[in-house]
Amino acid sequence: MKKTRNTQKQDFVLDILAKSEHTMSADAILEAMPIKINKTTVYRILDRFAEKGKVHYVTGENGKAYYALCSDCDVEHDFHNHIHFQCKNCEKVTCLSYEIKVPELKNFEIQETQFLMIGVCDKCKA
């Protein structure tokens, strides 16, 4: 694996994700940054983290990628097989602790999973 370097901007990205109760899109992270940073940099930091298994992402119904720190993820197999929920109204994507059992598939070699449930969250229903 390629060598990596520690930078303040990478640390901030981790911090922001750690403090967030929801997954975050690249532009949300960009906005939450306390220092000036380029969006390309955010994307590349997230890419590197995803490759190292520090972070996983789900593609929302809207086609946007949402990132979260990996905690219980099976990094070895890149299986982030818990459920994610996206609210149609506020568009927030949440990691849920509910796990889906990944099936064995003929004809396909599974490397990653993305389980997304879509609807309305309680906050938006009220």
Partner DNA sequence: ATTTTATTGCAACTATATTGCAATAATACA
Partner DNA sequence: TGTATTATTGCAATATAGTTGCAATAAAAT
Residue 85 interacting partner from its own copies, DNA, none (CB closer than 5 to 8 Å by kind): its own copies
DSSP 12-74: HHHHHHHH-SS-EEHHHHHHH-SS---HHHHHHHHHHHHHHTSEEEEE-TTS-EEEEE-SS-B
Q: Is 1 in the site for DNA (CB under 7 A)?
A: no
- Comparing CB distances to DNA, the nearer of 45 and 87 is 45
**R_g of the chain computed on alpha carbons:** 15
Q: Is 10 in the site for DNA (CB under 7 A)?
A: yes
Which residues does 41 contact at the CB level (< 8 Å), separation at least 6? 9
Q: Is 89 in the site for DNA (CB under 7 A)?
A: no
Residues that bind its own copies (CB under 8 A): 59-65, 83, 85, 87-88, 94, 96, 98, 100, 102-103, 105, 107-122, 125
Local structure of 123: helix, strand or coil: helix
Interface of this chain with DNA, residues 30 to 59, rule: CB under 7 A: 36-41, 43-45, 47-48
Residue 38 interacting partner from DNA, its own copies, none (CB closer than 5 to 8 Å by kind): DNA
Query: What dihedral do alpha carbons 93, 95, 96, 99 form, nearest 10°?
Result: 120
Binding site for DNA (CB under 7 A): 2-10, 25-27, 36-41, 43-45, 47-48, 62-65
